[in-house]
Amino acid sequence: MTTVTTSPRPAVQERSAGHVVPPCALVIFGAAGDLTKRKLIPALYNLARQKLLPDDFAIVGVARAALDDAGFRAQLAAEIARFVPGTFAPELWKWLESRVHYVAGNFSDAETFTALEKKLGELETSRWTRGNTLFYLATAPDFFGPIARMLRERGLADESHGRWRRIIVEKPFGRDLASAKALNAELLQALGEKQIYRIDHYLGKETVQNILVFRFANGIFEPIWNRRYVDHVQITVSETLGVEKRGGYYDRAGCLRDMVPNHIFQLISLVAMEPPISFAADAVRDEQSKVLRAIHAPTPEEVLHNAVRGQYGAGTIDGRNLVDYRAEQGVPPNSGTETFVAMKLAIDSWRWNGVPFYLRVGKALAARKTEITIRFRKPPLVLFRDTSIADLHPNDLVIHVQPKEGISLRFGAKIPGAQLKIGGVDMDFDYAEHFGATPATGYERLLYDAMQGDQTLFQRADMVEASWAVVDPVLDVWQALPPREFPNYRAGSWGPREADHLLELDGRSWRPVD
């Protein structure tokens, strides 16, 4: 394997990094949940470590548990060291902990919002937050609309007097197109689109953000990023874990709803979009939206041929024994919920006409990987027809998203010796090796951008609805035709055989995941 040698840069240019966020308060609804202690608080800790949080900053947790400021601080302090990436610095935590506050109450109770309004008023004086507030909805989706409505009714969404008020909404954003439209309408009754930040934590990963830089800041790739040179695109998002203790939630959602209209389609939109006129948030999202609206919504017949679903059975992964999905806690013994999805998609655009996009995503698979493969067309074999070379290796550009973050390019090279033989070699770029490992949870950039008012990495209402418009026909067919062969793949494998067959019908195969 060949490793790319890269020279250190005297400076790294970023769109907005390096500027301390303005004075503000972050309100976390659902603050007693795992997301807060595992991701949000550690991400804020890392932003403080990078000196990107102002002194005029406060955190307010809102949850039903009967706690006060001291109790909530103690609860976070007991576990923060476990979840902070890198070395834990007690003095830094002390700085952040002193800014943590708590409001106890039910999300549907007006008294909760009265108490929150009072707390935020106090923080304007004690922490000088200027009234700027970011509301993070780390709650069940059923609460998204009611919380937004209560914020409007209590005047907590009001942006008069020069202050800003914004809301971050976690996924899942709807269960289908109709519910996504209803939720968008409910949110937009309470806040303006400029105030709504629909979060997808995949876009917090460095490599995902780097797709735009890779494509549009390097003159060698964009000219060949089209149907003339690209044979097809593959996206693999595989997990080795089963559903574990989330069986109750997962069985209501399923793999298709859980992953495809958000994570997968965001990756596709970044890979396939046209160059934006600028890096302004709406300029970028305009081009992403065009891609999502250009994805061909399959007919029922096309669903039967171009979409594969699977459910894992018992197996072994890395020495761990996994039971059947149907034997997991909270899962019905006759569940027809899919834990694996593979699809072939077409983008009806000038750039991508005739270039299939294949995706596969699932749980209890052989390796934990997220990667995007751009496979280029093979050159003609004419030059080598009188040699021993019977085939030419395809050129693969692979964007590794997790767990390794980097980019690799596979090309052919002559193997040393008297005979003409070609071997495939890789040039690898690894983020950690070149730039150093930066402790991160994946939420740092997203929280930072939301406090800065940059919506580039957040979904817009039309993007959400365009994604569901493609997924809805698949949901309809799968609901009308319940699966009869589940479970149909072994835990620790690469999914059902039909997923391989999906590409074999086109004379292609999945890139081996290493």
What secondary structure does DSSP assign to 91-102, as a single string?
HHHHHHHTTEEE
Compute the distance between CA of residue 131 and CA of residue 400 in angstroms, rounded to an integer.
41
Query: Residue with structure tokens 């919920």?
Result: 337
Answer whether 0.85 is exceeded by the pTM: yes
Pinpoint the alpha helices (H) of 313-460. 431-435, 444-452
pLDDT for 24 beyond 50: yes
Q: For residues 58 and 327, give the distance between their C-alpha atoms in angstroms, rounded to a whole number.
A: 44
Instruction: Give pLDDT, residue 153.
Output: 94
N-to-C CA span, the chain = 13
According to the model, what pLDDT value does residue 387 have?
55
288-325 confidence digits (pLDDT tens) = 999 999 999 999 999 999 999 999 999 999 999 999 99
Q: What is the pLDDT of residues 62-75, one digit of tens each?
A: 999 999 999 999 99
The answer to whether 396 and 409 are in contact (CB under 8 A) is: yes
Domain boundaries, the chain: 10-170, 203-378+461-504
d(CA 474, CA 299): 9
Identified catalytic residue from 19, 263, 296, 434 = 263
Contact assessment for residue 273 and residue 288, using Cβ atoms and an 8 Å cutoff: yes
Query: How far, in Å, CA of 101 to CA of 105, rounded?
Result: 14
pLDDT at 188 over 80: yes
pLDDT digits (tens, 9 = 90+) for 397-441: 999 988 888 899 887 666 676 666 666 668 888 877 777 667 678
Catalytic, 296? Answer no
The pLDDT score that the predictor gives to residue 246 is: 85
Domain 10-170 of CATH type 3.20.10.10 = no
pLDDT at 4: 41
Residues 100-124 have a mean pLDDT of 96
Residue 497: count other Cβ atoms within 10 Å of its Cβ: 14
**Looking at residue 422, what is its pLDDT?**
67
Helix axes 177-190, 461-480, angle to 10 degrees: 150
State residue 234's pLDDT score.
98
Mean pLDDT along residues 370-383: 82
- Are residues 189 and 183 in contact, defined by beta-carbon separation less than 8 angstroms? no
Evaluate if residue 8 carries a pLDDT over 80: no
Q: Is the pLDDT of residue 10 over 50?
A: no
Give the residue with greater pLDDT, 433 vs 11.
Answer: 433
pLDDT at 299: 97
pLDDT for res 13 = 33
pLDDT tens across 145-176, in order? 999 999 999 999 999 999 999 999 988 899 99
Burial profile 271-301: b = 16 or more Cβ within 10 angstroms, e = fewer: bbbeebeeeebeebbbbbbbbbbbbebbeee
Query: Phi, psi (5° rounding) for residue 438?
Result: -105, 120
Cα 168 from Cα 143, distance rounded (Å): 13
Structure tokens at 143: 């609460």
Q: Fold for domain 203-378+461-504?
A: Dihydrodipicolinate Reductase; domain 2 (3.30.360)
| Residue 7: pLDDT over 80 | no
Q: How many Å apart are CA 7 and CA 434, to the nearest integer?
A: 9
* Mean pLDDT of the residues in the chain: 90
